[in-house]
Structure 1
Amino acid sequence: MSKVNKIILNIIKWIIAIMFILLTLVIFVQIISRYFFEFPLAWSEELALTLMVWITFLGSAVVLETHDHITIDFLVEKLSERMKSLLRLINFVLLFALFSIFVFGGWIMIETTKNSITPGMQISSAWLYGGVFTGGILLSITTLRHFVSELKRFVSISKG
């Protein structure tokens, strides 16, 4: 992983950590406000949902970059290195197709909801779908990088 990728990855990790702390605080304040003061906060559930979407998609990009997704690979491990590499290439193609749908669908939802205002926070509903769009872009870029790397590996295995 290049130095630039490490810096970007660390920035995203910090953003996720800050969002997670904020999410925890918002939910805690909502619980205290609702059950002890009988005064529910109208904006807290909207903010919590938006933060969860962003955390999910940014976190998925981090996990994909570091190859930390859960895998069931006991059958794959029985294959030759060439076949393993080929399956990884197919996997990256399928992932790229899925993440392209996230980007495309996220963009459509942003465009559709950009003028819709949330009742609690009074912000555009597009902020919620921005997490899907942004995460989809990060996931797509990461998948392309992994695909190119694996393709080089596959070619070297095939020659060798």
Structure 2
Amino acid sequence: MKSAIEKIVSIYEVFCRILLLSMMSLVIIFVFMRYFFGMTFVWAEELITMLFISTTYFGAVLSMKYDEHIKISLLSEKFPPLVHKAAEILNYLLIFLLQIAIFYTSLQWIGRVGNVLTNGLRVPIRFFYYMMPISSFLIGLYCLIHIFMFFKKEDLA
């Protein structure tokens, strides 16, 4: 079971790398085409923007997985170990609750405006907007995993 999960996570990380590499490659190609050939494409800027946004949303999942997200720990590190762990658990619970709110709100929002076509690519915007509930679901999942790991540890000190 664990190896299957690790394989899925590995595939997800490769997917994120491909998104980032695609974005960088397209930026280089289209800047080159604009300056040397005077050619611009309306859809190119939109595609690059969507790739940038997707690397942000999907990269946030990886930052939560590796516990590399932004947090202010200056105060909580000065607490005794038990209070520090309680503060960490509270932090993950708050993030989890926020992700639930984002998940449901974004699904409702996609239901209302998701059929609008993008200007350049002419595809329904919902395909891009689904990045938000997918990433919030995965971030929430990693929050629960982190909370579970706090309780799984034998020592509370």
| Bucket of the pairwise TM-score, normalised by the shorter protein | 0.7 to 0.9
**1:129 aligns to 2:129 (yes or no):** yes
Q: Mean Cα displacement is larger for which, 85-94 or 26-35?
A: 26-35
- The aligned residue for residue 103 of structure 2 is 103
- Are the structure 2 counterparts of residues 65 and 123 from structure 1 closer, same or farther at C-alpha, using a change threshold of 3 Å? same
Deviations 1:91-121 (A, max 9, x none): 0111012212221232123222321111211
SS of structure 1 residue aligned to 2:130: helix
Which residue identity is paired with 2:55?
I
- The aligned residue for residue 138 of structure 2 is 138
Q: Mean Cα displacement is larger for which, 104-113 or 14-23?
A: 104-113
The answer to whether the Cα contact below 8 Å between 1:113 and 1:124 also exists between their aligned partners in 2 is no
> Unmatched 5+ residue regions in structure 1?
none
Once the two structures are aligned, what percentage of the paired residues are identical? 21
- CA shift for structure 1 position 124: 0.9
Residues 17-56 of structure 1 aligned to structure 2 (within 5 Å): 17-56=17-56
Q: 2-side partners of 1:104 and 1:132: how far apart?
A: 10
The answer to whether the Cα contact below 8 Å between 1:85 and 1:150 also exists between their aligned partners in 2 is yes
- The aligned residue for residue 91 of structure 1 is 91
Which residue identity is paired with 1:128?
F
- The aligned residue for residue 81 of structure 1 is 81
- Are the structure 2 counterparts of residues 68 and 5 from structure 1 closer, same or farther at C-alpha, using a change threshold of 3 Å? farther
| TM norm structure 2 | 0.87
The answer to whether the Cα contact below 8 Å between 1:46 and 1:121 also exists between their aligned partners in 2 is yes
- The aligned residue for residue 8 of structure 2 is 8
- CA shift for structure 1 position 72: 4.0
- CA shift for structure 1 position 122: 1.4
The answer to whether the Cα contact below 8 Å between 1:109 and 1:126 also exists between their aligned partners in 2 is no
Q: 1-side partners of 2:86 and 2:152: how far apart?
A: 11
The answer to whether the Cα contact below 8 Å between 2:114 and 2:124 also exists between their aligned partners in 1 is yes
**1:67 aligns to 2:67 (yes or no):** yes
Deviations 1:34-93 (A, max 9, x none): 222222111111111211222111111111111123444333222111101110111011
SS of structure 2 residue aligned to 1:43: helix
**1:118 aligns to 2:118 (yes or no):** yes
Q: 1-side partners of 2:143 and 2:125: how far apart?
A: 28
